[in-house]
Structure 1
Amino acid sequence: MKLVKSLLLGSAAGLCAVAGAQAADLPVRKAAPVEYVRVCTAHGAGFFYIPGTDTCLRVGGRARFEYQYSSQNARAANVSSWRGLGRLNIDARTATPYGTLRAFVRFEIASRTGGYLRSGTQERYANAFPATGIDTAGQLQKYVDVDKAFVQFAGITAGRAQSFFDFYAGDLEFFGAGIYSNTNTNLLAYTATFGGGFSATVSMEDPVYRRNPVFAVPAAGSGLMPGGGGVPGISAIATGINIAGVPTGGAGVNVIQKNDMPDFVGALRYDSAWGSAQVMGAVHEIKTIGRLATPVAGPGPDAEYGWAIGAGVKVNLPQLAPGDQLWLQGAYGQGAGSYTGIYNPPGAELALSSITNKFQINQVDATVQANGQLNLTESWSVMGALLHYWSPEWRQAVFATYGQQNYDPRLRSNTFGPVGITGTLGGAPTTVNPFNPTLMSYDLFYGGTNLIWSPVRDLDIGVEVVYQRIWLPRAVADNNRGTVAPLAGGLVGPGGVTRVTNFDDNIMARIRVQRDF
């Protein structure tokens, strides 16, 4: 038995020795070298090299909470609003013999509820998706947007970016709804740098993001004025006027605008240690589809070219405190309300808008006259903003914007204005109902202040309070406080108006907690 046991142990030992010898004869495979991420210092902090390339990448973003209170006067209005927002930034840069090749992308995704934070503008631009429930329709919105996506190379900027007409663009505000241009759009631009801080840009930009409606006749049943065919974008305008100045016929005109000529923007800019300055101009085509039917002879609306000019200056004020800034800006335009910013506070891409529904104002770049031609709308705006650091952790901004939109007063007469906004009393031509604000000029004010605490780097906790107001040159019916009793011919006499007003205003406050990374 001992002999068998010895033989088995010896055999096992021999097998192990042979196996060990064979294993020792096998080649040893070396581990692949690890390519660690390297910091890229050529383009600023936060960049690193994409492994295996010479491209530097920076990934950043933002998380934000907001609550807003509005002192709405209308019973059906939302007083409270909420928003949670996420942002992702991707910035890729590569050094080339022609300079830096850059690609930048910014995505914003938000869920928001309530009044002001539910943006009808984003829904009209197909960037947001509203709820449809009984208690959520018009009050809840998901927002997904490619906020920016552009390539920069050798002076060329191509993609979705901030319009080169913009200068201040709400840099110091929470709401960013003041009376100034603040538009992201699709564009192709070239910037020439001359040295000494001077540069000039010529930009071809998407007109859709700058477009505001053309006014002719409101659709039937809107409750604003008599007339209209009830078809969106289609209106009847007069093309025949008798000796008494009374319209004798009409033509169907489709006032929907289609893409024809892009907007052209030019800007001359200066940057230095003391701050920045810019002068800018823009041309914006207004062209409707045109005539649909011709009951009487007469031309359809021809294309008109709106335009805007502006200037701005930013002054650094380190003598007050490090980081202090002063901004001043002004703009004037005709048929270019988006560039002057006159449509920014109430909304965008709306023929009619309001603050608290006391009355509705027209926000149109042009009006189809009785003779079938387009009458451009005049507007202008000015703004100022000051940022002051009380300490490195506490800062405050104070800002104010003022603007005016002026319609040709003849547009409210039946010999010059669109059919449907006039009436007759005893067979004699008269002007439009004086208590109706349609095509009435107005003034806008928007201003406020915010206070921000930054206890640690890239964390902001703050509150902002703003006040906005619309003035009209004379009293109109107050929709929130009474009804209008019409008289013969579609007119309203003083006795038919229960309550009137010539202004509308609102106070809004917003709390924000924001972390950038």
Structure 2
Amino acid sequence: RVCDAYGTGYFYIPGTETCLKIEGYIRFQVDVGDQPLNGSVSNDSDWDAKTRGQVQFTAKSDTEYGPLTGVIVMQFNADNASDQDAILDSAYLDVAGFRAGLFYSWWDDGLSGETDDIGSIVTLHNSLRYQYESGTFYAGISVDELEDGFYKTDEEPNNVGVAFGVGGTAGAFSYQITGGWDFDNEDGAVRAMGTVEIGPGTLGLAAVYSSGPNSYYSAAEWAVAAEYAIKATDKLKITPGVQYYGDYYVAGDDFSDGDAWKVGLTVDYQIVDNFYAKASVQYLDPEDADDSTSGYFRLQR
């Protein structure tokens, strides 16, 4: 009962004032398309299978400032018997709205389907963050170490950025505004995203603008995306999506003059309780580069 206030799944550790929750997932996925990633490098095949196991430990205890939370997420990835890695996917401390450690930025958020390309290349940073929350509204600011994102020629990859996030819900409508400034690249980006329940599904819209390639957004100078997540049955969701890129990034230190567009379809199906299947196919057609088709099939428990 001591742990009930934190939600389901927590259990009390005797002799401490700490409640612990253990959760995770197992995922099997087959990627298809033009040279899918084999671990961290491209392969010469048009398909690649991989498996992931992830476990998350969440510890909570009461303090005079509110709950003190500690989270550790371990992720294990296997492309085959000899190509495997174990990574720390998150590890952070959180109390009274302050968070410090390795965790995902607001730029990791996106629409529910797989077509939208409106986030950072890398969204996991060592960061300091404060987030204010009140009911259905939140607003926050973070200082991020940008070590493995976008950096221009002759710039070192060790970098710093400042990001903000504002969002919330109002009935059937949800919204988020996210921004970031990359100090080494001297460029920034801002994004607006919203969803609303309409008919048998949820309409999602997003737009992003970047003053130049930077660690927060480097896919294009601007882009707009839309999707409609159709809840066909209690177990089946079908999500078509589309995105248009203005001045699509190809290579170098600046955006190209060419545009690009992308269209895709994602299907989610709940096989039984806690067991899910997902299939996705995407087509990308840049003006100044070759078009490509990619996708995947996933099973997850």
1:397 is aligned to 2:239: yes
Normalized per residue, the structure richer in helix is 1
Among candidates 130, 144, 155, match of residue 97 of structure 2: 155
Could you say which residue in structure 1 is the equivalent of 2:209? Answer: 332
How far, CA to CA, are the matches of 1:275 and 1:147 in structure 2?
31
Secondary structure at 2:186 match in 1: strand
Is 2:55 the counterpart of 1:88?
yes
Of the three residues 182, 204, 208, the one matched with 2:147 is 208
- Residue 284 (structure 1) aligned with residue 182 (structure 2): yes
Cα offsets for 1:264-303 (capped at 9, x unmatched): 11222223442421222211122xxxxxxxxxxxxxxxxx
The alignment's C-alpha RMSD in Å is 2.9
Aligned pair in 2 of structure 1 residues 336, 50: CA closer, same or farther (>3 Å)? farther
Q: Distance in 1 between matches of 2:85 and 2:245?
A: 29
Judged with a 3 Å threshold, the aligned counterparts in structure 2 of structure 1 residues 468 and 335 are, in CA distance, closer, same or farther, namely same
Instruction: Give the match for residue 38 of structure 2.
Output: none
Distance 1:209 1:167 in 2: 18
Question: Using the alignment, how far apart are the partners of 1:258 and 1:394 within structure 2?
Answer: 43
Please give the residue correspondences for 1:177-196 in structure 2 after superposition, counting only pairs within 5 Å: 178-181=117-120, 183-193=123-133, 195=134
Q: Which amino acid aligns with 1:191?
A: Q
Corresponding residue number in structure 2 for 1:13: none
Q: 1:158 to 1:282 in 2, by over 3 A?
A: same
CA-to-aligned-CA distance 1:175-195 (integer Å, 9 cap, x gap): x783433611111011123x4
The unaligned stretches of length 5 or more in structure 1 are 1-37, 114-130, 132-139, 215-254, 287-303, 343-377, 412-417, 419-437, 473-502
Q: Provide TM-score, normalisation by structure 1.
A: 0.51
Give the ranges of 4+ consecutive aligned residues of structure 1 lying more than 6 Å apart after TM superposition.
none
Change (3 A) 1:393 1:109: same
What code does the residue aligned with 2:199 have? L
Return the alpha-carbon distance in structure 2 between the equivalents of residues 65 and 460 of structure 1. 11
Matched with 1:44 is 7
Q: Residue 505 of structure 1: which of 288, 291, 297 is its match?
A: 291
1:441 alignment partner in structure 2: 257
Letter in 2 for 1:155: G
Q: CA deviation at 1:156?
A: 0.3
- The alpha-carbon deviation at position 406 of structure 1 amounts to 6.4
Q: Is contact 1:68–1:511 with CA below 8 Å preserved after alignment? A: yes
Letter in 2 for 1:178: D
Say whether the 8 Å CA contact 1:86–1:108 is kept in structure 2: yes
Q: Find the residue that maps to 2:55 and give its secondary structure.
A: strand
Q: Which protein has the bigger strand share?
A: 2
* Range with greater deviation from structure 2 (203-212 or 155-164): 203-212
Q: Give, in whole Å, the separation in 2 of the partners of 1:109 and 1:150.
A: 19
C-alpha change, 1:439 and 1:40, in structure 2 (3 Å) is closer
Q: Partner residue of 2:224?
A: 382
For normalisation by structure 2, the TM-score amounts to 0.84
Residue 313 (1) aligns with residue 194 (2)? yes
Q: In structure 1, what residue type is equivalent to 2:192?
A: A
Deviations 1:370-389 (A, max 9, x none): xxxxxxxx711222233222
Aligned amino acid, residue 504 of structure 1: D
Find the residue that maps to 1:108 and give its secondary structure. Answer: strand
1:63-116 CA distance string (max 9 Å, x none): 1111122156xxx83211111111111111223232221111211111126xxx
Change beyond 3 A, Cα 1:61–1:505: same
In structure 2, the CA distance between the partners of 1:457 and 1:86, relative to structure 1 (3 Å rule), is same
2:1 corresponds to 1:102: no
Report if the CA contact (8 A) 1:179-1:402 is conserved. Answer: no
**Matched-pair contact (CA < 8 Å) for 2:112–2:229:** no
Deviation at 1:440, TM superposition (A): 4.3
Unaligned runs of 5+ in 2: 36-42
Q: How many angstroms apart in 1 are the aligned matches of 2:164 and 2:45?
A: 41
How many residues are aligned here? 291
CA contact (8 A) 1:340 1:381 kept: no
Contact 1:71 1:508 survives alignment (8 Å): yes
